[in-house]
Amino acid sequence: MYLTKRNLSALKDFDNSEKVTLTTDNVEAVKHADILIFAIQPRHFEGILNDLKPHLTKAHVLISVITGFAIARIEAIVGEDNYVVRAMPNTAASVGQSMTCISTNKKGKEKIDLAMTIFNSLGGTSLEIPEEQLQAATVICASGIAFWMRLIRATTQGAVQLGFEAHEAHQLAMQTCFGAASLLKESGKHPEEEIDRVTTPSGCTIEGLNEMEHRGLSSSLIKGINASFEKINQIKNN
């Protein structure tokens, strides 16, 4: 595997890896690779593709994890006969728990299984979707990490107010969130079914849920998601 970056000091964790070659030369990497994964700022991508175009072959698989850079823009540079894949993983990939959404051009459909294999190794959950849904997927899956972190943080603060030490509150909030997600994943049930299992008539759970909804929990979350979606579309159009 070849890793390229203008500043190799940022890749020092791979210095001693026998299976990784570090270089600042993108052309060198392309000549020695079949699968090219681009994870760079959008403003640099077009220039890099133009530099690499003379060295690309029809066998190369181009995978972009770059927000807002459409497949049509990639094809306009390298051609429609190349395998082009767009993928949107999230930061949970660093712990093997990414939710990744994947789209391809017409030619890239032939390599969808390959792309799935690559990104399933980062989390075990990849989903093929139409490219027009990738912006929304970025909000739900990538920005969504921050949304869930804020909810966990709020739960932690609530636990501290109830008398737990900060480290205890963090552990309680974190594991409960993980447990809730695991329940849904393993059972395949709708969230309301699991909520019904926990709530009892005139109980503390329904009291808390009703107060949260009265304060706008669900509507605030939905509005936040929509605001993020509007913003990402502004970025795309600029």
Binding residues for NADPH: 26
CB 101 within 8 A of CB 59: no
Pairing of strands 21-23, 61-64: unpaired
| CA 74 vs CA 53, 130, 152: distances in Å | 11, 16, 38
Residues annotated in the binding site, as ranges?
A: 26, 39-42
Residues annotated in the binding site for NADP(+), as ranges?
A: 39-42
CB 142 within 8 A of CB 39: no
Nearest residue to 104 (alpha-carbon basis) of 122, 123, 121, 80:
80
CA distance 96 to 119: 10
